Every structure is written in C-alpha cells, then in structure tokens.
Amino acid sequence: MGKKMWIITSSLFIVLVFIVFMSLRFSDIETPKYKLLSTIGKVEIRKYPKMITATTKLSSAQYEEDGSNGFRTVANYIFGGNSSNKKIAMTAPVIMNMGDSSTLSFVMPSEYELKDLPAPNTSNVTIKTESVKILAALKYGGYSSDSKIQKYASELRSILVANKVQIIGPLLYMGYNAPWDVINRRNEVAFEISWE
C-alpha cells in the first residue's frame, strides 16, 4: 500500500511539474502591442495597430462547437501547411469573431509583412491586414466556455452602455493560453468601439 501511494504521488508530482514547466515555457509568446487609452472600471480601452492575421470562417459563433475546428485549421497553416512548408511562430491571443459572419484568427508575428507570408495550402485560410481598431476589453481567468463568454460580454456591454460608449463591431473573444496552461489563464471579451 505504501509503495503504491508513493508511485501515485510521485507520478502526480511529475505531471504537475510538467504542466507548470509548459505554462512557463510558453509564457513569452508575442502579443500585439496596443496603446492603453483609458479605463472604465475593469474595462480597458485599447488602440490596436494594423495587424496581419490568418483567418478561417466558422459555421457558427459557438466557442465550444467551432473554436477547436477553427483553431486546427489556422494552426495547420502556421505549422507548415503553406506554399513554403514554413513554420510560423505562434502568437497570442487567438481571436474569435462571434458576429453573424464568425471567424477565428491568429495574429501573425510582427516581423512579417504581408508579402513575406507564404500562401495557405487551403482556401479555408485567408491572410489579410486588419485596420487600426479601438477595442473595449474585459479580462477574466480560468477555462472559457460559451456561457462564460456570454456572461462577461453582457457585463462589458452593460458598462459601455452605462458610460454612453458606442459599440461598432461584433463580440470578440480573445484567448491567450494553450490548453495545458492551468495557472494564470487569460481570456478577454471585447467590442470595437467609437472613441474620441
């Protein structure tokens, strides 16, 4: 009994160390450099520069139903599923547009110009330049779900409406972590807004 317990405890410890190691190892992933314009309580008003994204269309705006499929489609592009068989560094966040025409996008590393990126091997991925945007964003932790996204989106919308901030874009979900990250998880919901 004592030996079995020691083996189980040791195995759990090794798994825990691996998870923490993986979480820390990938914590230096590039994220877009935005300018913080203001805060409204917990909401950050951010100005994002032009960014290049690899984007795929989704069949619905359901995170749990379509998020994984969209992630795999775009991940295939950056893992070498392109005209040059080139591997492109992963960045964060993964952005899910949850509007009528729902999409999932990866932001390309800032070292690339549009002309430098290889063409996708599939018509399901589009490489494009996103214009400068001002987003109102609200952070939350833990693992995400459709119900959590809607809960925080409702909170964000209420704060913006109460402060007479005009929403001009669909709901965006931004996820910053790999599935194996169990600590310090970061999720955000955001709307593009009109900001003077």
Question: What does the pLDDT look like over 156-185, one tens digit per residue?
Answer: 999 999 999 999 999 999 999 987 788 889
What is the CATH T-level fold of the domain 35-194, as seen in this structure? Multidrug-efflux Transporter 1 Regulator Bmrr; Chain A (3.20.80)
pLDDT for position 130: 96
Q: What is the mean pLDDT of residues 114-127?
A: 97
Answer yes or no: are the C-beta atoms of 156 and 136 closer than 8 Å.
yes
Q: What is the number of other CB atoms lying within 10 angstroms of the CB of residue 83?
A: 10
pLDDT for position 25: 43
Does residue 18 register a pLDDT over 60? no
pLDDT band, residue 11 (cuts 50/70/90): low
Coil, strand or helix: which one is 45?
strand
pLDDT band, residue 6 (cuts 50/70/90): low
pLDDT for position 180: 78
Q: Percentage of the chain with pLDDT > 70? A: 86
pLDDT for position 64: 87
Highest-pLDDT range among 26-30, 97-101, 151-155: 151-155
Strand segments, DSSP code E, in the chain are 35-40, 43-48, 51-57, 94-97, 103-107, 126-130, 133-140, 166-175, 187-194
Pairing state between β 51-57 and 133-140? unpaired
pLDDT band, residue 1 (cuts 50/70/90): low
pLDDT for position 23: 44
Q: What is the mean pLDDT of residues 103-124?
A: 96
Answer yes or no: are the C-beta atoms of 8 and 166 closer than 8 Å.
no
Question: How does the average pLDDT of the chain come out, rounded?
Answer: 89
Does residue 28 register a pLDDT over 90? no
How do residues 48-99 score in pLDDT, each as one tens digit?
Answer: 999 999 999 999 888 988 888 999 999 999 999 999 999 999 999 999 999 9
